[in-house]
Each structure stands twice: as C-alpha cells, then as structure tokens.
C-alpha cells in the first residue's frame, strides 16, 4: 500500500516524484534547459496534474457552492496551464529541441485524459 503522502498532490513527496519522473522522461529538454526554461516545464507538469485531478473530480455529490468553487478553481488552473504551456513552447530550449522531442513532450503533457504510470 503506498504511503498516503505519495497520494496527496500538495505534499512535497508527490511534487518531488512528479518532477523527478519528468526529469527522467524529458532528459533531452532538462539537460540543456536554462533555469527559467526548466521552471516552465516544471509548471506544465504540475499544472497538468492539478488540472487532471480537478476535471476528473466527481461533480454530482457536491453541493452547488462547492461545485461552483471547484469549477472556478479548474478554470483558473486551466488558464495557468495554458499560459505555462505557451511559455514553454516559446522558450529557447523547447524551440531548439528536435521536432520529435517537441512532439513527445506535447503528446504527453499538452492534453488531458486518462493517466497511467507512463504519464508524467
């Protein structure tokens, strides 16, 4: 059974695990990234996870005020995700990556859907 800290998206262990996995998965990017460019990819990784959790949360059992708050939070998170994604796509490190590496990052991180162990 996994430690509950590993399941809490606000825990440092969870954040560390996601970013550690991203650094392994996208080694070509991180190995040449400036500190700011690395932060852009970190932001996309974390915001994608937050948005995935928010949009997959069940709505029916929530009362109207709570559901509305969740929807507002998801909207804000989605805007932040889109902004981080745009900044990443414009950064020098991303633009200098081979097209195949760009497409790999985009294919894994730029959309939401079912997550698996392979997803970052």
Backbone dihedral region for residue 113 (phi beyond 0: left; psi -120 to 50: alpha; all else: beta):
left
Contact 37, 93 (CB under 8 A): yes
**Confidence grade of residue 115 (pLDDT, cut at 50, 70, 90):** very low
Question: Residue 8 has what pLDDT?
Answer: 57
Question: Residue 9 has what pLDDT?
Answer: 56
Strand residue runs (E) in 1-120: none
DSSP 21-38: HHHHHTHHHHHH--HHHH
Cβ burial 95-113 (10 Å sphere, 16+ → b, else e): eebeeeebebbeebbeeee
Structure tokens at 90: 């414009």
Domain locations along the chain: 17-109
Question: Residue 110 has what pLDDT?
Answer: 95
- What pTM does this model have? 0.78
For the chain, the farthest-separated pair of C-alpha atoms sits apart, in whole angstroms, at 48
Q: Which residue has the tokens 């970190």?
A: 42
pLDDT, one tens digit per residue, over 22-56 is 999 999 999 999 999 999 999 999 999 999 988 88
């Amino acid at each position: 059974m996994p430690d509950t800290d590993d399941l809490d998206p606000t825990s440092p262990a969870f954040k560390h695990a996601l970013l550690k996995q991203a650094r392994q998965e996208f080694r070509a990017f991180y190995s040449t990234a400036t500190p700011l460019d690395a932060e852009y990819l970190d932001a996309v990784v974390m915001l994608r996870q937050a948005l995935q959790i928010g949009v997959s949360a069940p709505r029916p059992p929530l009362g109207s005020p709570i559901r509305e708050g969740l929807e507002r939070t998801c909207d804000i998170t989605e805007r932040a995700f889109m902004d981080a994604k745009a900044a990443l796509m414009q950064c020098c490190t991303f633009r200098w990556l081979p097209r195949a590496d760009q497409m790999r990052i985009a294919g894994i991180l730029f959309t939401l859907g079912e997550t698996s162990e392979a997803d970052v």
